[in-house]
Copies of this chain bind each other. A is one copy, B any other.
């Protein structure tokens, strides 16, 4: 059996680079899959490192990117997939259909690709109302139109009652990379500015509010949105984008740790510069969540050369979806990867991924 850390690159001296942030219990010690293995945190990364990477190990998969970048027939393409299992199927600001399209569009955009074509494989549970399916399919079409992509191929399977949960949608997508940049975690450089595109925590809290039957003074809507326009704006402004990542499962904190680990760098950021809406903050406090770890579906972080940061922020702010874009931190030295948060009261602390599951089935 392959050791669970086979996917890691040893640092000089033989110590795994990620040791400082590793969870002490490897996936092989769990005989069965836990809900937490799907949570976007440390356990999910161990499942990837312990089961999938050893079997399929190849440079594209090991890049730990939001998608694979491949050469096909002379063209540089991005290719990505996501399974969507959000519960409930409908939530304020969207539904599983919106999410399925935006999730894949955004993963392509995070590779610096222009999203072009999507596929959708649907797993329906017997008893799903056809009217719900029509509504979701209509949302998919609207989201695809908004993002300028076409759904060109699909598949439908049905499972018996109690063997699914209404509807799961797995989307995949193809995008075309039309520039010479290598937009990937590996391109992050010490000194890079870290730009956040807007407020965090809305998607996760919108889902939780429905699930828990909570009502707040203002209804919290998911931020689900296509982000390819933001990437277009950065590229059109001539920004030498180093890396991009959308802040889904695990939220801002997990994404920063993923990039720090993939590139082997320190990242510093300021809590006070991360916008969180008051109602989201309130909901997080009530439910005991940290908004830095709550999922978003229409937010990204961009790593750009420090001298281009202001220009990049200005370019992003031309889009309504990124009108609150701002610099939140910078990339520090290479070496042991870590993410350091300077809190609102001025103290510094290390930020890690959560071990397991904060919010199951958020996307």
Given A81-B154, A82-B121, A141-B56; A130-B51 close (CB under 8 Å)? yes
A77 touches B73 (CB 8 A): yes
Q: A167 — nearest CB in chain B belongs to which residue?
A: B33
A336 to chain B, nearest CB (A): 27
Nearest Cβ in chain B — how far from A41, in angstroms? 12
| CA–CA, A44 and B154, complex, Å | 13
Residue of B nearest to A83 (CB): B121
- B75 and A158 contacting across the interface, CB-CB below 8 Å: no
Q: Which residues of B contact A163 (CB under 8 A)?
A: 87, 164-165
Q: Which of A60-68, A189-197, A208-216, A322-330 contacts B (4 or more CB under 8 A)?
A: A60-68
Please tell me if A37 contacts chain B, counting CB pairs below 8 Å.
Answer: yes
Number of A residues, CB within 8 Å of B: 86
Q: Taking the complex as formed, is A236 at the interface, i.e. its CB lies under 8 A from any CB of chain B?
A: no
Task: Determine the chain B residues whose CB is within 8 A of the CB of A124 once the complex forms.
Answer: 33, 37-38
Best-buried of A144, A163, A165 by chain B (most CB within 10 Å): A163
Chain B contacts for A168, CB-based, 8 A: 123, 159, 168
Q: Which residues of B contact A52 (CB under 8 A)?
A: 137, 154, 156
Q: Which residues of B contact A153 (CB under 8 A)?
A: 60-61, 67-68, 79-81
Query: Taking the nearest CB of chain B, how far is it from the CB of A85, in angstroms?
Result: 5
Which residues of B have CB within 8 Å of A1? Answer: 134
Contact with B along A284-297 (1 / 0, CB 8 A): 00000000000000
- Asked if residues A131 and B85 are in contact (CB atoms below 8 Å), the reply is no
From the candidates B31, B60, B85, B130, name the one contacting A152 in the complex (CB within 8 A). B60
Q: Does A160 contact B (CB under 8 A)?
A: yes
* CB pair A72 B150 closer than 8 Å: no
Q: Are A155 and B37 in contact (CB-based, < 8 A)? A: no
1/0 per position for A182-214, CB-CB distance to B under 8 A? 000000000000000000000000000000000
Q: Which parts of A126-161 form the interface with B (CB within 8 Å)?
A: 126-131, 133-134, 137-138, 140-141, 144, 150-160
Give chain B residues whose Cβ lies under 8 Å from the Cβ of A165. 159, 163-164
- Known contacts A37-B156, A73-B74, A153-B67; A80/B119 CB under 8 A: yes
Enumerate chain B residues within 8 angstroms of A117, measured Cβ to Cβ: 68, 70, 72, 79
State whether A72 and B83 are in contact (beta carbons under 8 Å apart), knowing that A1-B134, A163-B165 are contacts in the complex.
Answer: no
20 residue pairs bridging A and B, Cβ less than 8 Å apart: A28-B130, A31-B130, A32-B128, A33-B126, A33-B128, A37-B124, A55-B134, A58-B150, A60-B150, A72-B176, A73-B178, A81-B119, A81-B154, A81-B170, A82-B121, A83-B155, A83-B157, A84-B157, A159-B165, A168-B168
6 shortest interchain CB distances as A-B pairs: A73-B75, A38-B158, A170-B170, A172-B172, A81-B119, A68-B152
Binding site for B on A (CB under 8 A): 1, 27-28, 30-39, 44, 47-48, 51-52, 55-56, 58, 60-61, 67-68, 70, 72-77, 79-85, 87, 116-117, 119-131, 133-134, 137-138, 140-141, 144, 150-160, 162-165, 168, 170, 172, 174, 176, 178, 360-361, 363
Kindly list 13 other residue pairs between chains A and B, CB separation below 8 angstroms, not including A31-B130, A38-B157, A81-B155.
A56-B144, A56-B150, A56-B154, A60-B150, A68-B119, A70-B116, A74-B75, A77-B174, A80-B153, A81-B170, A83-B170, A159-B165, A168-B168
